[in-house]
Amino acid sequence: MSTLLTEEEVLSLLESSIKAKKCSYSPYSKFRVGAALFTSCGKIYTGCNVENVSYGLTICAEVTAYVKAVSEGYTSFKACAVSTDVKDSVHWPCGACRQFMAEFGDIEVFSTFDDKTHTVRTLKTILPSHFSVEGLRNGQSI
C-alpha cells in the first residue's frame, strides 16, 4: 500500500506502466518493459525499453520516463511503476536504473502485473547503498 499516493493515483500509475509496455521496442530480448513516473505535482510520464542490436546502447523504460520528465522541467517525483510480461515473479528496475533513479531522491517503486496486482518498496530499500554526491565528495559511495 502506498503512503504517498491515493488509491486512484496508484491505479492510474499502474495502468500507465502497463500501457507503456505495449510500445516497447525489444526485438532481441523479447523482454518488454513499461514504466510510469509520478511527479510531485501529479503528472505521469511514461517510458518503454528501446533496444539496440548493440545491447550497451539499449535504453531502459525507467530511464526513458525520467528523461522525458526532466526534459520538461520536472525533477521531483513520488513514485515509479514498472511492468513486464513476466507472470510468476516480481521484477524491479535493474541496478543501473536504480542508481539513475536515486539521483532524484527516494521514491516508492511499484512492480506490477497486467491485472494490476503489485508489490511496492522504497527505492532506498531496493538500492540501499547508492552512490551519491556526498559519497563523491568524500571519495566513497554511501
Active site residues: 62
CA-to-CA distance for 33 and 50, rounded, in angstroms?
9
Distance between start and end Cα atoms, the chain: 28
The SS3 of residue 106 is: coil
How far apart, in Å, are the Cα atoms of 69 and each of 20, 77, 123? 15, 9, 18
CA-to-CA distance for 25 and 27, rounded, in angstroms?
6
